[in-house]
A and B are shown apart, each in its own frame.
Chain A
Amino acid sequence: MAYTGNIHVWKKVKNKILILRHWGGVGDIINTRMIFYDLKKNFPNFEITYAIPENLKSLVIDHPYIDKIIDFSKANLDEYGFYGNISTACGEYESKRVPYVDKHRSDIWANSFGLELTRHEADIRFSSQELKWADKWWKSHSLNHEIVVGLSPISAHPCKNLQKDKVQELIYWLNLYGFRVIVFHNDITDFKMCLKPRLTLREWMVLVNKCDFIITVATSTFCLANALHKPTIAIFGNEDLEIYGKYFPEMFPIQRHRKRNPEWQHCPCWQGLNCKIKKGVYPPPCLQSITVKEILDNVKKLVEKYNI
């Protein structure tokens, strides 16, 4: 559509693109990183601005294909020749298709403003200062010669969590096998035999990057591990790992999926609250049925495959 306003304003804004997202979460913001390579490739001479919540800006601060990052509340749409609002695109797309969602979120966001992605990379870069900080942290906890597992057992929503007794049992087993465990979560006080650091978002990112491998439920650490291509054991309940992990070949999925487990014909249902087997149970039966042994079997496979 041709611009019909003031020609002097048009001259200033014509080469400026704004991508807007009103909220997180942390994992989604990390996944949105995948759209900017193709955006820049298609519009190499355009200035690309990403507007997101102020407290999440550090998640994309290093992105080589984003020119400016601003607080979404300060975005003035008149300053841009084009803007794409990706705040609600996923919710609208997924809610119409559950339980047969067929697209990764990065593709849904890109398609929502007419872009096709050719490369699904998050292009995460750490500064030398961040890498030095991580090395120092590693050394201060005597981790340099140990095999370190990053564990994310708790999500923002209880329907995605691994049960606490299972988490503790898993931590004991990982220690028994000689691994050192770092548990990543804001508020973990009750797990034994593991490191429980309190971190900023960037510190969390660089420490996940240092781990030898990751064990995670459906939470931001999964998205980060995907972005960093870390060998990962992913434990999912109601969201489809075949879609979430579409661009994550280093992932070992653990999920009750209708394609592989006919007895779980309703799974994954994408609806934590409306589980067809048992409503209102957290975590849902499909996630509850996952055993520590299953996770440990996958740990062995992962260690062998990646020669850790």
Chain B
Amino acid sequence: MKFKVLRNFIFHSKIVNKGTIIDLPLNSFSESLETRNIIERIEVKKQIVKKPEINLKKYQRISKSLLIEIMQNRGMYIKKTNTKQGLINILKRSLEAQGFLHGLYGKYTCLEES
């Protein structure tokens, strides 16, 4: 993940200057309390904001039971009484959420420009 730093801050005991483009894994923001506090105080601009389309056509073509199996293998919790379309909607949300978490698109709350 690349971010443009809008003002000087300290990250892992190193000074990062304003204007620098830094490449950080998103996971590092949420893991330590120390890091989180630093991140909350800085203002960074995210480079990638485009939201890609999620292609769900392949899921439309498979059976409901196979879809349930795929979702359960993803570690998802679902009610089997749901319709196939209902399950596809849940899967779509899940993939979108994954996109947000991995920083593929959208803005991550704590990193929004203020």
How many Å lie between the Cα of A285 and that of B83 in the bound state? 44
How many chain B residues touch A (CB < 8 A): the figure is 30
The reply to whether A146 and B100 contact each other, CB–CB distance below 8 Å, is no
1/0 per residue, CB under 8 A from B, across A65-93: the answer is 00000000000000000000000000000
Q: Which of A146, A292, A308 contacts B82 (CB 8 A)?
A: A146
Cα-based distance from A110 to B83 in the complex (angstroms): 50
CB–CB A192/B90 < 8 A: no
Of chain A, the residue at the smallest CB distance from B39 is A165
Point out the residues of chain B lying under 8 angstroms from A177, CB to CB. Answer: 75-77, 94
- The CA of A192 and the CA of B51, in the complex, are separated in Å by 14
A145 lies within 8 A of chain B by Cβ: yes
0/1 string, B47-91, CB within 8 A of A gives 1: 000000000000000000000000100011111011100100111
The one of A145, A171, A180, A292 that contacts B83, using a Cβ cutoff of 8 Å: A145
Interface of chain A residues 184 through 213 with chain B (CB within 8 A): 190, 192-193
Q: Which residues of B contact A289 (CB under 8 A)?
A: 33
Q: How far is the CA of A237 from the CA of B2 in the complex (A)?
A: 34
Tell yes or no: A271 within 8 A of B by CB. no
A46 at the A/B interface (Cβ < 8 Å)?
no
B101 CB, nearest partner CB in chain A, Å: 5
Number of interchain pairs (Cβ within 8 Å): 80
CA distance A308 to B26 in the complex (A): 31
B93 touches A175 (CB 8 A): yes
A146-B86, A165-B36 known; A173-B101 Cβ under 8 A? yes
A54 on the B face (CB < 8 A): no
Q: Is the CB of B77 within 8 A of A179?
A: yes
**Would you call B77 and A164 a contact (CB within 8 A)?**
no
Residue B8 interfacial (CB < 8 Å): no
A303-B77 in contact (CB<8A)? yes
Q: How far is the CA of A146 from the CA of B36 in the complex (A)?
A: 33
Question: Once the chains bind, are A169 and B101 in contact (CB under 8 Å)?
Answer: yes
A171-B97 Cα distance, complex, nearest whole Å: 8
A145 touches B101 (CB 8 A): no
Complex contacts, B77 vs chain A, CB 8 Å: 147, 177-179, 303, 308
- Between A and B, 11 residue pairs with Cβ closer than 8 Å are A145-B79, A146-B86, A146-B90, A165-B108, A165-B109, A172-B100, A176-B97, A178-B76, A193-B96, A288-B36, A308-B77
Question: Which residues in B have some Cβ–Cβ distance to A below 8 Å?
Answer: 30-31, 33, 36, 39-40, 71, 75-79, 81-83, 86, 89-91, 93-94, 96-98, 100-101, 106, 108-110
